[in-house]
Structures are given as structure tokens and as C-alpha cells.
């Protein structure tokens, strides 16, 4: 699990958007979202000390 990876992909998304490449910007955003979801499973699946 590489924590800096979503920062790299979202930066690419922003840079492509800034440069006027909408499809590439949106594509890197999707990659960031996929990594985000994976990282959420890694960090957020331990049980909470709560009754929900």
C-alpha cells in the first residue's frame, strides 16, 4: 500500500485538466478514485467500538 500514490494520480489529473486535456484528467481521476477505494478497505475495515 503506497500512501503517496493517490496524491501522484490526483496531481496528474489536475495537471492534465490545467493543460486542457479533459479526458486524460477525468481518466486519472477515475484511477485516483479506484486507489482511494482500495485504501479505504485497507484502513477502514477494522470493527468500531460502537453499536451501530
Under rule CB under 8 A, residue 11 binds another protein = yes
Compute the least distance from the CB of residue 14 to another protein, in Å: 5
Compute the least distance from the CB of residue 41 to another protein, in Å: 11
Minimal CA–CA distance to 27: which of 39, 41, 15? 15
Could you tell me the sign of the dihedral formed by the alpha carbons of 13, 16, 19, 23, in that order?
Answer: negative
Compute the least distance from the CB of residue 35 to another protein, in Å: 8
CA distance 26 to 33: 10
Under rule CB under 8 A, residue 34 binds another protein = no
Under rule CB under 8 A, residue 25 binds another protein = yes
Amino acid at each position: 500500500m503506497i500512501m503517496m500514490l493517490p496524491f501522484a494520480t490526483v496531481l496528474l489529473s489536475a495537471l492534465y485538466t490545467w493543460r486542457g486535456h479533459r479526458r486524460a484528467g477525468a481518466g486519472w481521476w477515475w484511477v485516483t478514485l479506484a486507489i482511494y477505494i482500495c485504501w479505504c478497505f485497507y484502513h477502514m475495515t477494522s470493527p468500531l467500538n460502537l453499536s451501530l
